[in-house]
Amino acid sequence: MNVWANAIGYQIVWFSAVIGAGRGLWWPGVSAAIVFVLLHLALCRQTPAQRAVDIRLMLVALLCGLIMDGGLARSGLADYAADPLAMSSGGPPLWILAIWASFALTLRHSMTFLLGRPLVGLLLGAIGGPLAYLGAARGWGAIAFAEPRWMAIFALVVGWAIAIPLLTMLASRWSSSATSSAILPAGHPR
């Protein structure tokens, strides 16, 4: 999967998730994410070690989503549409976790410009993360923020300013390790 296909695939997941959620449907985003993840893993020319890096990044991104969006939901700062499972558990909806997993697959592909640049990641996270949530809220009603709204926005600024540098640092570290292990001859001590 090339850089453009990766970026467009992620955008398809994002729009499917927020438009679907705004209409009370959780499954469009989840379905789009499953297709994106499977196509990405099948079509990217990667070694098994590099593919494992993408999978590990998805797991860490899901943990970030559980913490950040789960915290927003449990605190009452955000109310997520199309949230049948999270209503009883207090966690984030599946559609937003689908966005997190898909976002992780952009880090080593269409968003490589962030690798090794923690300040750029921090700024992009602090600005872009909250803007995406505001777009989902205003454009499609996928999220509603409690008053005063600035508290939820501030939580998103802080959360995304931490999440992107964390994820890109792990992507860089794990990519280097996967590349060096792919170069070493069999039986070579690591």
**Amino acid 143: pLDDT:** 96
Residue 40 half-sphere exposure, CB side, CA atoms within 13 Å? 32
Cα 145 from Cα 166, distance rounded (Å)? 26
Give the pLDDT band (50/70/90) at residue 183: very low
What's the pLDDT score for residue 87? 52
Average predicted confidence (pLDDT) for the chain:
91
What is the mean predicted confidence (pLDDT) over 150-175?
Answer: 97
The better pLDDT of the pair 177, 53 is held by 53
Residues 65/97, Cβ–Cβ less than 8 Å: yes
What pLDDT is stored for residue 45 in this prediction?
A: 85
**pLDDT at site 137:** 97
At residue 190, the pLDDT reads 42
Q: How many CB atoms lie within 10 A of CB 182?
A: 12
Q: Which residues contact 109 (CB under 8 A, 6 or more apart)?
A: 1, 3, 6, 40, 44
Instruction: Give the pLDDT band of residue 90 (cuts 50, 70, 90).
Output: confident
Q: Give the residue, 47 or 185, on which the prediction is more confident.
A: 47
What's the mean pLDDT in 114-118? 95
